[in-house]
Amino acid sequence: MEIVELKNIKKSFGDHVVLKDINFSVGKNEVVVIMGPSGSGKSTLLRCITFLEEPDGGKVKLGEFNLQAGLPLNKERKNMIRALRQNTGFVFQQFNLFSHRTALENVMEGPIVIKKMDRQKAKENAIELLSKVGLADKMDHYPAQLSGGQQQRVAIARALSMKPMVMLYDEPTSALDPELVREVLLVMKELAKEGMTMIVVTHERGFARDVADRVVFMEDGLVVEEGSPEKMFGSPVKERTREFLQDVGKEGR
Amino acid sequence: MDLSIIIDSLPVLLKATMVTVLLAVVSVIIALILGFFTALARISKIKVLKAIGSIYISIFRGTPLLVQIFVIYYGLPQIDIELSPITSGILALSLNAGAYLSESFRAAILAVDKGQMEAAVSMGMTYWQAMRRVILPQSIRIAIPTLSNTYIILIKDTSLVSVITVTELLQMSSLIIAKTFEPLTIYLLAAALYWVVITFFTALLDRLEKRTSKHVA
Ligand SMILES: Nc1ncnc2c1ncn2[C@@H]1O[C@H](COP(=O)(O)OP(=O)(O)OP(=O)(O)O)[C@@H](O)[C@H]1O
Ligand SMILES: [Mg+2]
């Protein structure tokens, strides 16, 4: 069953066409890794899925939510977009934790403000999620008192607090010191094992190999090729895919 | 210098100091509200609001406070708006400080990292939920130093309303001097009282600043 379906997604900034015509879908429990050179439109694609950037055209489907892009923004559409966002967990390269709130409060914020959850219940859930990412002992720390890896794990817990249908990660480990990358990838791997549906933009080849069900290679605003990690890293059909994925491999961890 | 003059005038001057503090506190509260909403108007997408905000700021930052006081106290009665000296003073001080505060608020809101708003709306918050829960608390912390600064200036500016016969500290000092002919003693005493008030509020605001920035890198 498909959870996310993108149809003919197009996006330009001024006269710079960033996404030309993207079609792809992600099934329940599936982990899709998106790779591609800088500027190929990976972040823009993720952001279009939750309308952080509104696509110029196309359709986004998430579970039962169906949104046609490029229509005027009235109240009903705003509500639709918010419903869509409440069901996707977005993890940013720069973590973007709320810097005036503790780790615990960060994870409680969404359920309390958006879902109007009872404070005590939100707290219990948040503690559970922080334990899951291995940070229950740091719950009273503010973001500035945590390492990058810890911040990103709190950010993952915060995204999970809304019980999303799908998690979207935009280069979740690119801003981290090398020794902190592993702890974040481990948490993500654990989530994948539990059956969380995920779309991950990353350059981590090892993660893609171990965890991805499918690797999507993007270039110049198009999906050039997609397939299993074995196929994509082993014997991709397209010359460009081979060049790029092998380059990534050489830098690789 | 006669010590008895100090002792005799101190109680009256202290009372007048309370008027000064009252002027400053009431005006700053009104100015904070005014400045806050003007800042929101200035960052809103609604052109009319933006324009109103800009015009207000431009007028009150672009003219001397003394002129604003005169227009309100001496000018408005001509169109049948008669305000008491103290109301006129508070109105002028609030409108003036509000214009400055709105600029501090606006700068502080824009200084909050863009990722904070993105994280909030990406979870499904509305723009206003994100503003209220995420952006504004952080911008208030950022704005505190400049707010303190404006407030200290506002305390000093209260002395200007002495010209419309509000018996605040400076006006009271002049009244006492008219009777005692001791300008040096009395004005120095007034200066000392201003210093005490300003030092007190500076310390208070410094503490607030330290408390709110405790956990921030
Ligand atoms: N808000 C924006 N305004 C204008 N141009 C933008 C904007 N966002 C992205 N772009 C442009 O769109 C193109 C694709 O950007 P995007 O961030 O999606 O690429 P990416 O594949 O994520 O690259 P990277 O690996 O460097 O993160 C880039 O040329 C970028 O400059
Ligand atoms: Mg990117």
Q: Order of strands across the sheet with A222-227?
A: A88-91, A166-170, A198-201, A31-35, A214-219, A222-227
Distance from CA of A104 to the nearest CA of B (A): 14
Chain A residues in contact with B115 by the CB 8 A cut-off are: 92, 94, 96
The sign of the torsion formed by the CA atoms of A95, A174, A3, A124 equals negative
Asked if A34 and A172 touch (Cβ cutoff 8 Å), the reply is: no
ipTM associated with this complex: 0.92
Mutate to test the pocket of ligand 1, among A11, A13, A200 (most ligand atoms within 8 A of CB): A13
Q: What does B3-19 look like in DSSP terms, one character per residue?
A: HHHHHHHHHHHHHHHHH
The sign of the torsion formed by the CA atoms of B58, B61, B67, B68 equals positive
Confidence of residue A242 (pLDDT cuts 50, 70, 90): confident
Burial of A195 (0-12, 13-18, 19+ CB in 10 A): exposed
Distance from CA of A225 to the nearest CA of B (A): 29
Mutate to test the pocket of ligand 1, among A10, A34, A40, A90 (most ligand atoms within 8 A of CB): A40
The pLDDT tens digits along chain B (217 residues) read 578 888 989 999 999 999 999 999 999 999 999 999 999 999 999 999 999 999 999 999 999 999 999 999 999 999 999 999 999 999 999 999 999 999 999 999 999 999 999 999 999 999 999 999 999 999 999 999 999 999 999 999 999 999 999 999 999 999 999 999 999 999 999 999 999 999 999 999 999 998 887 777 5
- At A171, is the secondary structure helix, strand, or coil? coil
Chain B residues in contact with A109 by the CB 8 A cut-off are: 123, 133
pTM of structure: 0.88
Q: Please tell me the distance between residue A103's alpha carbon and the centre of ligand 2 in angstroms.
A: 25
Residue A250 tokens, joined? 């050489």
Chain B residues in contact with A50 by the CB 8 A cut-off are: 122
For residue A204, which of A193, A192, A213, A212 has the smallest C-alpha distance? A212
Residue B81 tokens, joined? 């708006």
Q: Please tell me the distance between residue A41's alpha carbon and the centre of ligand 1 in angstroms.
A: 6
Side chain identity, residue B30: I
Taking the C-alpha atoms of residue B120 and residue A179, their distance in angstroms, rounded to an integer, is: 29
Task: Name A168's bridge partners.
Answer: A90, A199
Note whether B84 contacts A: Cβ–Cβ < 8 A: no
A59 phi and psi, to 5 degrees?
-135, 140
Distances (CA, A) of B35 to A176, B40, B61: 40, 9, 13
Taking the C-alpha atoms of residue A155 and residue A158, their distance in angstroms, rounded to an integer, is: 5
Predicted confidence (pLDDT) at residue A150 exceeds the cutoff of 50:
yes
> Which pLDDT score, from 0 to 100, does residue A252 have?
45
Interface probe, candidates B109, B113, B122, B213, chain A, greatest A C-beta count within 10 A: B122
> Which pLDDT score, from 0 to 100, does residue A253 have?
44
For ligand 1, what atom is nearest to the CA of residue A171?
27
